[in-house]
Amino acid sequence: MDVFLGRGKHLEALTQAEHVARGGGVALLSVLGEAGSGRTRLLDEFERHLEQDGIPVRRTAAFKATETEPGSIGEALDLGGELEGALLIDDAQWADATSLALLRAGMARASSGLIIVLAHSEVFGYRRFAYANLMEAANRLGRSWELTLDRLNLGDVEALFGGSDADRLATQLISSSGGLAGNVVETLEAWEAAGAVRWEGGTLVATGTPIPAEIGVPERVARLEGPERRLAELLAVARRPVTIAVAAAALLLPEDDVLDIGERLVAAGLATESAEGFLPGRDRLR
């Protein structure tokens, strides 16, 4: 199910950024969102809008920086060359210092309008200063925006539903998902798969089939892929909290990767945090 909700101000900022770029300036959008808040989905929508407006788009995601393997955005976006059009960078919280410096230098020498979107979770360490420098440079060369992907509320989802049960469905959706965009979509997919709702006239209506009371963690883990599934399965069989170091050794991954994956599982309700590490999540009521 592909739904895009509650992001009107973000699309409005993109429209304003296009105006700045068409005037020859640099527009920088910094989009902060927790795991599961829909950062990648927002970039999908941004990319679609930009391409419809005839703006060339280059897109990548930053890798986590280590001492031997810096982040990838410098090479992926050829930041040493001429920058033009739009650059969309996901998981930018892991961008390495060299890439951020190249990005700032590229902004300064851009001969035509430029749009840069950095989608990221909380930024720490030296990247805080690098981000501040980027925002300052963008404001000198055009304009910058700092946006947050807040959790969805009733007003964001009400238009999804029709029929006499619309208010009840909207309230239950927010209550069940916590308003986290990824959970909202997952919950709607579960309702539709169970036959509890169907699309009718552009809205979802209740069918009379009861909404699933519970989706167990094992069923939801089975939908995962890659490292997320491996960590969730490891947590599911553990009898005690799994430390970051133990999980990293078991999965053959760097500890930073395990921490990031664990945080995504926590945001999705598939894990819980403890002082020692991570525990399996609890079944979520729907």
Q: Which pLDDT belongs to residue 169? A: 94
Q: Which pLDDT belongs to residue 67? A: 40
Supply the pTM of this predicted model: 0.72
| One domain, residues 54 and 83 | yes
| One domain, residues 100 and 227 | no
Instruction: Tell me: pLDDT of 30 over 60.
Output: yes
Mean pLDDT of all residues in 2-13: 83
| One domain, residues 44 and 166 | no
Both tokens assigned to 259: 């921490």
| Closest by CA position to 12, among listed 46, 39, 59, 38 | 46
| One domain, residues 63 and 142 | yes
Both tokens assigned to 177: 């998902």
Percent of the chain residues past pLDDT 90, beyond the cut = 36
Of 13-17, 34-38, 249-253, the one with minimum mean pLDDT is: 34-38
Instruction: State which of 93, 121, 148 marks the end of a domain.
Output: 148
| One domain, residues 15 and 49 | yes
Q: Which pLDDT belongs to residue 65? A: 46
Mean pLDDT of all residues in 202-211: 91
| One domain, residues 207 and 221 | no
> How far apart (Å, rounded) are the C-alpha atoms in residues 273 and 222?
21
| CATH (domain of 230) | 1.10.10.10
| One domain, residues 176 and 253 | no
| CATH (domain of 130) | 3.40.50.300
Burial 142-181 (b: 16+ CB within 10 A, else e): bbbbebebbbbeeebbbebbbeebbeebbebbbebbbbbb
Domain for residue 2, yes or no?
Answer: no
Domain for residue 1, yes or no?
Answer: no
Instruction: Please give the tally of structural domains in the chain.
Output: 3
Domain for residue 97, yes or no?
Answer: yes
| One domain, residues 202 and 86 | no
Domain for residue 221, yes or no?
Answer: yes
Q: Which pLDDT belongs to residue 62? A: 79
| One domain, residues 197 and 226 | no
Give 91-116 pLDDT, tens digit per residue.
888 787 788 888 898 898 888 899 99
| One domain, residues 208 and 223 | no
Q: Which pLDDT belongs to residue 189? A: 85
| One domain, residues 234 and 177 | no
Q: Which pLDDT belongs to residue 253? A: 87
Containing domain of residue 248, as a range? 217-285
Whole-number CA gyration radius for the chain: 21
Mean pLDDT of all residues in 134-163: 92
Q: What is the DSSP letter of 256?
A: H
Handedness of CA 90, 244, 264, 196 (dihedral sign): positive
| One domain, residues 106 and 206 | no
Give 77-92 pLDDT, tens digit per residue.
777 777 889 999 988 8
Domain for residue 3, yes or no?
Answer: no
In terms of pLDDT, which residue wins out, 286 or 59? 59
To the nearest whole number, what is the mean pLDDT of the chain?
83
Instruction: Tell me: pLDDT of 71 over 60.
Output: no
Both tokens assigned to 13: 């900022």
Q: pLDDT band at 229, cuts 50/70/90?
A: confident
In terms of pLDDT, which residue wins out, 151 or 283? 151
